[in-house]
Structure 1
């Protein structure tokens, strides 16, 4: 399966095949569910490029997420230079950037999204708290959406109007995902001094983010309701991509609903523990979409299947 995916993605050089395989192992380790969805539900030719984009995003986040604000800013400056050099020269000493360069060569739109993402990383490095929903929306526009579009751009349609609608759907989806992230990671973020739940909401409910209690439960429910509203608004997203990509996008949206359900169940206990989607429910979702993909593929002419 993987060797075939590399062949269909046009990755034939032995060193690059090893590089992509290394990124695949990393992505499978830190994003197991997401990798499984991509492997099962995306056309083989796209899988290595999705892996390269996700690996780059994760590597970047890891590099700029440690140390003091000054240390993080310095790490971003150094990384920015390495990324731009790799894209300009088509090569790098780092496997993750060699893969990114090849993926950007095969999918030129990736370059613009890498630039937007690196600019957004400046926001990620600088923030300490999020004051209110408007600042959360700004954070999503400047950092979270560019991060998602590194991979989502690989699924976007060629028509400009369709791409604009798709990007707006991605914006709604990532806004929900980011709010869920901040709830899931509450204990870790509080320990790091960077809680992502808007400060005005915390004050409005009188919640203690370090201790379970009714006020925190109300805060979690409010934030979950706002994430749910964005997920509902993002529901048409699968219809904005070509048929071979729809099972993957449906699964992506479906997993966010499972994550949201888990957050609601956890409630105030999120002060002391993280949450995540039910593994059996996520597996069932993937199996259902895989079966639907097979049925849909059987009903389309071979040339329309994007393989």
Structure 2
């Protein structure tokens, strides 16, 4: 709890209730976003609560959609998202929200003047998860990923700060959010199938002779199929292109925030590399970057971050 208090003190967040709201968001981020949470530890303490609020809210809403209580109907899920949107509108307009993650998000959005349209787009993608189970092509998937991932990069950008006009950095921030999401879709293909969804372009799969039935067979048997391997390899190469598109944006960030994003990029790209190293077998295990490698990536970044803070005005 000492670390939470130090971050909130550094960020100038006062008031016991609001501090509890931010602490809840931090816990959500730590539990559900381990890779980026580790990268966030490299940020100056004053900027961490806002990042926790943004990611904590996103994870909280995502869980409402993906981890419903037994027996919940689609209509009930839609009603829950309606309530979240009403709560969000109240928080963004300076009113009192009912839920802790929404209150922390509203405070962060006001502090950093984050455009409301980013949150509207995010809620649109979350609502799509209630009815959409597959995507015909990359264009359709990209539209979904704009709301579910690209806007997260855009939301975080004002918190991180830039050394160039923000508009110049925005395409790279959006590309990084999309790159993270596509890596997740490749890694979590089996789990998403269990939820009845395929977050991979159907036309790319079909080009290699892959359909939902074949994916379900791989899931059931735990055995990779050569056709699936080729399709996932093509999408992994597309994913690599997104990371290349995002990478120049790191240099556009404020020096004290740059190491955080560099760590996140390297860790997430490391997950993609693990998938490729396993010949795109995503059925036998859930790929992750080994703890030692994570430490080897994070430690030098922390040194760079400390040096940047020491030289900052």
**1:61 is the counterpart of 2:25:** no
**1:74 is the counterpart of 2:65:** no
1:176-191 paired onto structure 2 within 5 Å: 176-191=179-194
Q: TM-score, normalised by structure 1?
A: 0.88
SS in 1 for 2:14: coil
The CA distance in 1 between the partners of 2:60 and 2:112, in whole Å, is 20
The CA distance in 1 between the partners of 2:147 and 2:36, in whole Å, is 23
Q: TM-score, normalised by structure 2?
A: 0.87
> What are the superposed Cα offsets for residues 279-298 of structure 1, whole Å, 9 maximum, x if unpaired?
22122111110112223344
> What are the superposed Cα offsets for residues 240-270 of structure 1, whole Å, 9 maximum, x if unpaired?
1111111011111111220111111233531
Unaligned runs of 5+ residues in structure 2 are 219-223
SS in 1 for 2:160: coil
Which deviates more, 227-236 or 122-131? Answer: 122-131
Task: Note if contact 2:172-2:248 (Cα within 8 Å) is conserved in structure 1.
Answer: yes
1:208-247 paired onto structure 2 within 5 Å: 208-209=214-215, 210-211=217-218, 212-247=224-259
The CA distance in 2 between the partners of 1:167 and 1:126, in whole Å, is 30
SS in 2 for 1:206: coil
**1:199 is the counterpart of 2:218:** no
Unaligned runs of 5+ residues in structure 1 are none
Task: Note if contact 1:92-1:98 (Cα within 8 Å) is conserved in structure 2.
Answer: yes
Which deviates more, 15-24 or 217-226? Answer: 15-24
The CA distance in 2 between the partners of 1:290 and 1:182, in whole Å, is 29
1:1-307 paired onto structure 2 within 5 Å: 1-39=3-41, 41-65=42-66, 66=68, 69-109=74-114, 111-157=116-162, 162-207=165-210, 208-209=214-215, 210-211=217-218, 212-298=224-310, 300=311, 302-303=312-313
